Amino acid sequence: MEKIIQAIKKHSTFYIFGHIDPDGDCIGSQLGLARFLNQIGKKTYLYSKGKFERQEIKQFQNRFAETFAPADKEGAVIIVDCSTAERTGFENEGIDRFPTVVIDHHSSGEVFGDFRLVKPQASACTMLILDLIEAMGEKPSKEVAELLMLGLCTDTGFFKHLTETGAPAFEAAAKLTSYGASPNKIYFDVNGNKKAATLKLISQALERATQYLDGKLIITYETLEDYETIPRECRDIDTVYLLLLATGGVQVAASVKEDDPDKVTVGLRTRCENIDLGSAAALLGGGGHKKAAGFKVMNSNAEAVVKLLVEHFSKILV
Ligand SMILES: [Mn+2]
């Protein structure tokens, strides 16, 4: 931390990077840090390769450049929420000619950069940005607090993913709230702008949801015909998963989606600690995390893939 503070004091210009396919924590960390540095008189430039697909970050897209072509020779690079240099999407654009600070909370990855503040126990990268601001003896403005809170809320699923080790996240949330962030406003910024067509797709998915294997497995599906009437960007499968997993007795929820005429994709979710969906998906040529994974099937259709899933999980959910 001390070395990072020295680096911030020493330089006047900062080039700030996050990861590809950014989320609320990545953008909240990048922007929150940039606005804080501006607050203390530093110049900042923000970079991202996108895509800015998530609702909660779309509004910030125009603040980020897609290519790295700095005019200044002076300055330092800061990389946030990123476990490998490659994940920035800029590793071949000469970012390594500047001294590099890495601020991250991923538990795996590679050791890169000159000064590293990496704490896997932090629930969001924005918590580390808050630590840095406080360690410098400063306070976040209301705008910075809102950006940091966005990261904290989205990476913790609005605090749902926290367990008994989650106290520091609540402490950070209390501080950010006192600095002017409204959890209610952030909740509706993230979840309050769904399109009417999205409700149609959600209701269709719930209507089709069927339980198998004594109710332990629940599967829903989407067909190519669905997308003839409703555009794909209206899809909100995360909302569907929440409801499927809320059903009593369900251990695994699956969504089967006909992506194009020769490809079906499957998403898997669980809330059970003793199920490893990453390995379950790997057996079918896919992968992922313990609680969220997926795989693809070529030259198939939703009906056949539902059968395949029931068969596969009949051996796992015993
Ligand atoms: Mn994160």
Domain boundaries, the chain: 2-191, 196-316
pLDDT for res 81: 95
Q: Ligand 1 mean position to 254 CA, how many Å? A: 25
User: Mean per-residue pLDDT for 32-48?
Assistant: 98
- Topology at the third CATH level for domain 2-191: inorganic pyrophosphatase (n-terminal core) (3.90.1640)
Q: Ligand 1 mean position to 16 CA, how many Å? A: 15
Q: Ligand 1 mean position to 83 CA, how many Å? A: 10
Q: Ligand 1 mean position to 44 CA, how many Å? A: 21
Q: Ligand 1 mean position to 82 CA, how many Å? A: 8
Is domain 196-316 in CATH 1.20.1050.10, yes or no?
no
Q: Which among 110, 122, 131, 117 has a CA at the least distance from the CA of 175?
A: 131
User: Mean per-residue pLDDT for 8-33?
Assistant: 96
232-282 pLDDT, tens digit each: 888 889 899 999 999 999 999 999 999 999 999 999 999 898 999 999 999
Q: How far apart are CA 66 and CA 30, in angstroms?
A: 14
Q: How far apart are CA 223 and CA 59, in angstroms?
A: 31
User: Mean per-residue pLDDT for 194-215?
Assistant: 95
Q: Ligand 1 mean position to 213 CA, how many Å? A: 35
Q: Ligand 1 mean position to 184 CA, how many Å? A: 21
Q: Ligand 1 mean position to 237 CA, how many Å? A: 20
Query: pTM, whole model, 2 decimals?
Result: 0.83
Q: How many CB atoms lie within 10 A of CB 318?
A: 7
DSSP string, the chain: -HHHHHHHHH-SEEEEE--SS--HHHHHHHHHHHHHHHHTT-EEEEE------SHHHHTTGGG-BSS---S-S--EEEEES-SSSGGGS-TTTTGGGS-EEEEE--SSS---SSEEEE-TT-SSHHHHHHHHHHHTT----HHHHHHHHHHHHHHTTTTTT--TT-HHHHHHHHHHHHTT--HHHHHHHHHS---HHHHHHHHHHHHH-EEETTTTEEEEEE-TTHHHHS-GGG--HHHHHHHHHTSTT--EEEEEEEEETTEEEEEEEE--TT--HHHHHHTTT-EE-SSEEEEEEES--HHHHHHHHHHHHHHH--
Q: Ligand 1 mean position to 18 CA, how many Å? A: 10
123-178 pLDDT, tens digit each: 999 999 999 999 999 999 999 999 999 999 999 999 988 989 999 999 999 999 99
Q: Ligand 1 mean position to 204 CA, how many Å? A: 32
Q: Ligand 1 mean position to 148 CA, how many Å? A: 11
User: Mean per-residue pLDDT for 178-201?
Assistant: 93
Q: Ligand 1 mean position to 24 CA, how many Å? A: 8
Q: Which two tokens stand for residue 166?
A: 């989650």
| pLDDT > 80? residue 108 | no
Q: Ligand 1 mean position to 26 CA, how many Å? A: 6
| pLDDT > 90? residue 214 | yes
Q: Ligand 1 mean position to 198 CA, how many Å? A: 26
Q: Ligand 1 mean position to 200 CA, how many Å? A: 31
